[in-house]
Amino acid sequence: MTNDPASSPAPGGPSGAAAAWRGAAYGASFGETERRDSWWLQPLVQGLALLVLGAYATWAAFQGVHYRFGNYLSPFYSPLMKPKWWPLSPALLVLGAPLGFRGTCYYYRKAYYRAFFADPTACAVGEPRKGYVGESRFPFVLQNVHRYLIYLAIPILFFLWWDVVNAFTFEGRFGIGLGSIAILASNTLLTLYTFSCHSLRHLVGGRVDCFSCAVAGGPRRRAWLGASWLNSHHMGWAWWSLCAVCSADLYVRLCSMGVIHDVRLF
């Protein structure tokens, strides 16, 4: 038996082999690693997906046209505001909060830090820098605004769900079209993504040391457990919601342009 702490597991921590694996890239040159798996695949795919979806969302937001078709409204333009004094796309008046909320999201930070900044590219892979700065310096320190942006992101969901009601209303009656389903899917996934946020989980129960000692501890604990379950799927909600909101906008846009026709199912 050895007394070398590097080869002995810490109480409740990883084994020496796991610790060595995590620290194998310390001091290594950029991209240097002993890993034999396709560690580069995930950041590559994530980077391409962020580029494609981000480019489409930016393009759609600046268009200012073809965002409405009948009772369908693109989620990029909700709530719809068109003041006379605003000469640009109305989407630019409302996208600041959801874009800031998503852009500073803990999961998306991980995705684009790895894909675009290689910080780190992957576990046990050499980085292009030797020192660790983290988010303590400008401009990355501004990422901490995420915990406050959730107060702006949640109210927008009420407008989006009103859009869902409208999407299922045709000439004053209930109906279902493919656009209805696209908008419902988009807003459902946006809601799951928002309520799976780490900041919301912390608000619900992160500041409580003892649920049985807190006011309304039982309901708060159940809410915290629900938020924790949603949070465990946060990565999935993040990607599916981004794909769904772009798809809903694309469907409304193509219908408005006359490229496709909305299919009424009921």
Residue pLDDT tens, the chain, 266 long: 344 333 333 334 444 444 444 444 455 677 778 888 888 898 999 999 999 999 999 999 999 999 999 999 999 999 999 999 999 999 999 999 999 999 999 889 989 988 898 877 888 887 777 766 677 778 788 888 998 999 999 999 999 999 999 999 999 999 999 999 999 999 999 999 999 998 888 888 777 778 778 777 788 888 888 888 999 999 999 999 999 999 999 999 999 999 999 999 98
- Give the pLDDT score at 35: 82
Range of the domain at 237: 39-196+233-257
Tell whether pTM > 0.85: no
Stretch (H or E) spanning 109: helix 106-116
Does 65 fall in a domain?
yes
What's the total number of domains in the chain?
A: 1
Among residues 65, 53, 71, the alpha carbon closest in space to that of 91 is found at 65
- Give the pLDDT score at 28: 67
Does 77 fall in a domain?
yes
Q: Are strands 169-170 and 173-174 parallel, antiparallel or unpaired?
A: antiparallel
pLDDT tens for each residue of 163-186: 999 999 999 999 999 999 999 999
pLDDT tens for each residue of 151-164: 999 999 999 999 99
Does 115 fall in a domain?
yes
Does 30 fall in a domain?
no
Among residues 243, 150, 229, 148, the alpha carbon closest in space to that of 189 is found at 243
Q: What count of other Cβ atoms lies within 10 Å of the Cβ of residue 36?
A: 6
Does 139 fall in a domain?
yes
Among residues 184, 185, 220, the alpha carbon closest in space to that of 204 is found at 220
- Give the pLDDT score at 153: 92
- Give the pLDDT score at 247: 97
